Structure 1
């Protein structure tokens, strides 16, 4: 049985706490999970920053899979596993298959399961109604095997795997003299049991003889047919019925849609699928992978019922920081240490929010509460998350519990806190190979105060020199950041971990005034120096909220 996946995911532009806590909490949930049909998987909602990449590499853990949208996808609905058919089958066989399966569309695939086209009931109905000339059977390159199946026939002579590719269809009811004038080389002739007519058709180099009314052929006829490689088929139908049915033996590739049809992939969002379906008249749609390998079929009725994605949010509870289309998912848990945000759920959920410096500290507590042993690599991740979020226990958000847990986890992981912190922060402050956009997005969050939307990025380093260099690069990029994020203001905290201070740069109309009002004693020309300010969550954001609302 395929297990139901539950994502454990942090916020957009994830920091180390967001990713490390997601991995660690997914591991814990699987350890205590009593439902065999459920599996918890860590995900990330953005690129891994260099600091987090160092942590993951150091403790030998792979980065979670990237997801950007919580909306339901094609993979979340039950699709119809209609078997693909060859383009060589007859329209009659396709019609019979559709009736047997009560479907209106057949996917056409090649021998490698690549989707080649679609045949729908409308195509077949059109083929029945259209008047084709007597050369169409050859133009369609009809296989003799198809003719045998369509006419419920029996092969008396020749190769059923051959193709009728030249000539026309002739009804041989006339006298021998008239018939001789009508039959040309490579024609297909529908005859009765008249031996003279059959021999005449063979002498005129026909390619195939269809004998009606269940009649056969004499040894003389069969010998002549063998010598000239003529196919002879016996059908139980009379001449009129055989003539009427024979065009139904044409291959579906002659009628199928090859280009003008819509396909979906497993990763397509159902919101996009619904929009496309409303604009297209097709009833059924094939699902393929990126290489056009056929997977299954879906229709509008498949969209009426589907399982929403189940998601556990860690390190955030605000809609603006969550995956896109989070309202389309089912949030089942929230584990966080920030202020209560605006995210709403349809049903009650397990919501654990504690005034601690790091989500990793909460996850540690939950391991202890459930009696689950913390492996060294998980301890390393949680310890790193605490070091990162508390700036090695220097942030005002850091509580005695955070420090105690961080030191305990360091023992389990077998690491030195100060050595790990230095290596982490050095990795995170290597700005030379990053673009300005990458730096601004590595720890960026959006907040709202009344009608004002503002973003705050925090860049930390173990010294002022690195921060001054990156500051000169970031100031010219702020206007583009405001436009891209569709916000009113942007602030960047350039935080010096050693001196426990922040150089704040401001972008957007009124941004500097908001910051100056929040910190009246701050000074600086192109930025504001905030002595003792290192926490975005506990120091900067509350002050800005009060400044904007005042």
Structure 2
């Protein structure tokens, strides 16, 4: 079977993260046998939405956690039993399937479960000789359990009243204990059969397959008494007949412990540890019965295969990564603290954009780039290099963007203007949306810090955003569970940034890293536009 592999960028994704994930999934689908699916680990910015809409590319599905789920388990497709099944039929089905629990379903809806323990309890602890009537047992179940045939009567009728008894005494004595509706087990004694019919028995069970006389048949039909013939002797019939009871009388219907296909296995383990059930029903996302799992099922969980693009920091990765199988990493940032259990394909190049690396991989594999994908890759390079203004930009980035623009049929200068305007129009955005527009977290020497970056086309929009962010972060900074926070407000046209800082020691760290003094509530940084090359290395050096 083809394996599904998720291709995903970092949390709070920027345009490069999203576009590179889509493009690399496209490339891998053309050069490998597996199925590669692009995903996203956060909301899209207006800039990224603009790019996807322009090139008519679907938005990748959001995934919050890639931990193993019930859907990654080998779910046993045990067919659901009907609630009308007899205990014996359910037992035989369990034996044939080698299972200890059966789901009871109505079409695709779970009604309950019946276990080996429930059947054992019914056989060993039930001494009620009226159980068939109490459970509204069908005569069809009795016939099936006793491997008999209906001689007189309708097999679809239900046992409505009466007890079960064995006609072991003479007719004179039988008259004293046979009541209307009783099920009488007997053999070929004509007088006993006649007595039971005259006493309004509900059903005669004739053992050992002996013939039933025409007179008895006629009299039974006239009195509404059913007759069942079975090849079993009286002893076997007496042992088996209670097993014709429908399982809906014994099955569990309340407080059922079920799981859904999208439940995470870590949560499943916690539930299973608290109960002693052997098997558990699984429902799909629509609530329909899907199959069964057990504790043993958790021993063979298929980890999700994942390819990371545009990041290699654990703090930036989608939740649940520690339970996934990392297959590849394609990135252009510093090598962070991400660890893998086995060797992986890791391509990291000092270029301005991950999309540049993916373009090169298309060329290396001699795979044609479709116009829409070319547009995505070109857009990613333009935004990540700030239209080649960033110090991270290389000749490889410029060459890739120029070639991609031809394939996409766009004018770079005109498209870049549209692109930056779509991303810098932040009016109407909440302070929280502004903050997480492009936000990454890092850790060094047990100090956790975050650096966000927001790009603007003019100084007025920058100052308006700055005021709103300061008001918001002065009261809510501690909610982010980090030690320091730095926000770069970058003016693309002027190629400069204002750096906001929050947290104990953040101001001093920023001043030391950027070798300047903050005279107001921000550092004024001329010529600083790159978080990756100008900001992060400097902060890391200071904090180390």
Superposition TM-score, scaled by structure 2 size: 0.94
* Pairing 1:209-220 to 2, within 5 Å after superposition: 209-220=204-215
- Give SS of 2:228's match: strand
Task: Tell which deviates more after alignment, 234-243 or 118-127.
Answer: 234-243
- Give SS of 1:41's match: strand
Does 1:378 pair with 2:373?
yes
Q: 2:57 aligns with which of 49, 54, 61?
A: 61
Give distance in 2, aligned partners of 1:200 and 1:107.
Answer: 43
**Per-residue deviation at 1:356?**
0.6
- Give SS of 1:52's match: helix
String of CA shifts for 1:266-316, please: whole Å, max 9, x gaps: 222222222222222111222211233222222222222333222211101
String of CA shifts for 1:75-116, please: whole Å, max 9, x gaps: 223222222111111111111222222221111111x22112
Q: 1:350 aligns with which of 335, 345, 348?
A: 345
Does 1:11 pair with 2:10?
yes
Give distance in 1, aligned partners of 2:133 and 2:519.
Answer: 86
Q: Do the aligned residues in 2 keep the contact of 1:105 with 1:284 (CA within 8 Å)? A: yes
Does 1:232 pair with 2:231?
no
Give distance in 1, aligned partners of 2:280 and 2:373.
Answer: 44
Number of the residue aligned with 1:123: 118
Task: Tell which deviates more after alignment, 535-544 or 175-184.
Answer: 175-184
Q: Do the aligned residues in 2 keep the contact of 1:482 with 1:488 (CA within 8 Å)? A: no
Task: Tell which deviates more after alignment, 531-540 or 254-263.
Answer: 254-263
**Per-residue deviation at 1:454?**
0.5
Number of the residue aligned with 2:99: 103
Does 1:511 pair with 2:510?
no
Q: Do the aligned residues in 2 keep the contact of 1:84 with 1:106 (CA within 8 Å)? A: yes
Q: Do the aligned residues in 2 keep the contact of 1:212 with 1:235 (CA within 8 Å)? A: yes
**Per-residue deviation at 1:392?**
1.8
* Pairing 1:316-465 to 2, within 5 Å after superposition: 316-465=311-460
Give distance in 1, aligned partners of 2:425 and 2:240.
Answer: 76
Task: Tell which deviates more after alignment, 492-501 or 524-533.
Answer: 524-533
Number of the residue aligned with 1:150: 145
**Per-residue deviation at 1:395?**
1.5
String of CA shifts for 1:480-508, please: whole Å, max 9, x gaps: 76444321111222222122222222222
Task: Tell which deviates more after alignment, 540-549 or 184-193.
Answer: 184-193
Q: Sort the Cα spacing of 1:183 and 1:537 in 2 relative to 1 into closer, same or farther, 3 A.
A: same
Q: Sort the Cα spacing of 1:131 and 1:75 in 2 relative to 1 into closer, same or farther, 3 A.
A: closer
**Per-residue deviation at 1:190?**
2.3
* Pairing 1:281-292 to 2, within 5 Å after superposition: 281-292=276-287
Give distance in 2, aligned partners of 1:374 and 1:286.
Answer: 46
Q: Do the aligned residues in 1 keep the contact of 2:205 with 2:230 (CA within 8 Å)? A: yes
Number of the residue aligned with 1:172: 167
**Per-residue deviation at 1:342?**
1.1
**Per-residue deviation at 1:55?**
1.0
**Per-residue deviation at 1:22?**
0.9
Give distance in 2, aligned partners of 1:203 and 1:422.
Answer: 100
**Aligned-CA RMSD value:** 2.1
